[in-house]
Amino acid sequence: MNNVHAKRLLRSVCLGTCFFGASSLLAQTDSVVRIIQTNFAGSNAHVIDPSTNEVVDIIEGVPKAHAVVNHPDGTYFYFANEHDETIDVVDITTLEVVERIPLVDRPNKLVINKASLKLYVGIRDAPFVQVIDLDSHEVIKTIPVAFGVHNVYVTADSKYVIAGLGAVPATVDEHTIQVIDASIDEVVWGVALDGHRVRPMAIESNADGSTNRIFAQATRLNGFFVVDWDQREAVDFISPPPLHVSQQNFDGIQDGTGHGLLVLPDQSALWYASRLDSRVYTWSLPDLEFRGGIEVGPSPQWLTATPDSGTLYVSLVGSMETVALDTKTQEIIARIPVGFGPKRNSTHTFPAETGR
């Protein structure tokens, strides 16, 4: 066993006692929350303290990072490195890259299944989702899907991994959302989106953690599909109120008209980022009543929120900043300078003993 894995396993044993003996206390008093803003046109990521909305650290050596997650025990960050076709393992304490896990091809979004301690990586240029064991840091399975994968998500109950495919389907009936049973790591069913590729998605959960609906953005559309989980099909398409063309931004949006979708942690609202409109919009849940929108700046790319659902963070490629937005008042409370090409951002909670 190498030193990196030995260090992680030792810390896992120590932290496991805390998690199983006093998990609620740990969540309240002994954990820290950080927002990580990846910079796709650079080789670093900015770490934001949501209590001050200031950058407190910069992680170097993570080029063209598509997304990042953290190990539940607070030892590592995992970055999807599109440049080197690897998962870059960053020590949370030192913020240094300590390992690179090779993949079959270029990765896009990744997600951790906390129940099984497995990392799922969407492969963009090949029709696979690769599965990495978090104990060994080895690829343990390569799951075939229909096309290359743009984004992957895990359901709140950890039972399923949802893959949004990034290729143009041959027919409108092809499943561009594919659902993987996490107990066997195989595709078990799928959903068609009228012949569209899938962009970001968001999951609405029931009180018991089971899935109620998936909201899915698709290429060239300013709005989102509503997918009923039990019916296994798209049952609606919802758009924000149309703006006059003079208020819209067509510069550099490619076919990602809408790019960024988030169900708040408390399940009270859905937020949507429109690159075309330079705005974020919100709908209440579960009724999907439109609650308004706010102009944030050029080309909003991704959304994340604090665990209490009070603050929304919006990445802006056009101004190289991350905007913090109060979800109740819908007012901008901070504009945080970050790096080049800020796209995916995410919220991370881990034990305070890491020092970060």
- Name the residue ranges covered by the structural domains of the chain: 3-354
Element (H, E) at 3: helix 3-29
- Give the other-Cβ count within 10 Å of 326's Cβ: 14
pLDDT at 20: 30
User: Which pairing describes strands 76-81 and 65-70: parallel, antiparallel, or unpaired?
Assistant: antiparallel
| pTM attached to this predicted model | 0.90
Compute the C-alpha angle 156/157/160, nearest 5°: 90
Residue identified by tokens 């899907």 is 145
Average pLDDT over residues 194-223: 94
CA distance 260 to 325: 14
CA distance 86 to 63: 10
Average pLDDT over residues 288-294: 97
CA distance 95 to 356: 9
Is the separation of the CB atoms in 88 and 124 below 8 Å?
no
pLDDT at 172: 82
Greatest mean pLDDT range, 164-168, 194-198, 215-219:
215-219
pLDDT at 64: 96
Residue type, 58: I
- How much of the chain is in helix, strand and coil states, percent to nearest 5? 10, 50, 40
pLDDT at 121: 98
Read off the tokens for 170. Answer: 């041959």
pLDDT at 355: 59
Question: Which is more confidently placed, 345 or 1?
Answer: 345
CA distance 200 to 192: 15
Is the separation of the CB atoms in 280 and 294 below 8 Å?
yes
pLDDT band per the 50, 70, 90 thresholds, residue 258? confident
Element (H, E) at 293: strand 290-295
Question: Which is more confidently placed, 215 or 253?
Answer: 215
CA-based max dimension of the chain: 61
Q: Distance from first CA to last CA of the chain, Å, rounded?
A: 26
- pLDDT tens-place string over residues 144-164: 999 999 999 999 999 999 999
- pLDDT tens-place string over residues 52-104: 999 999 999 999 999 999 999 999 999 999 999 999 999 999 999 999 999 99
Sign of the C-alpha dihedral computed for residues 214, 110, 16 and 356 taken in this order: negative
pLDDT band per the 50, 70, 90 thresholds, residue 257? confident
Task: From 85, 94, 35, select the one nearest 60 (Cα to Cα).
Answer: 94
Is the separation of the CB atoms in 278 and 300 below 8 Å?
yes
Task: From 98, 87, 94, 35, select the one nearest 65 (Cα to Cα).
Answer: 87
CA distance 317 to 300: 7
Mean pLDDT of all residues belonging to the chain? 89
Read off the tokens for 208. Answer: 């018991």
CATH of 3-354, one of 2.130.10.10, 3.20.20.210, 1.10.10.10, 3.10.20.70: 2.130.10.10
- pLDDT tens-place string over residues 95-147: 999 999 999 999 999 999 999 999 999 999 999 999 999 999 999 999 999 99
Q: Is 68 exposed, middle or buried (0-12, 13-18, 19+ CB in 10 A)?
A: buried
Residue type, 325: L
pLDDT at 139: 98
pLDDT at 318: 86
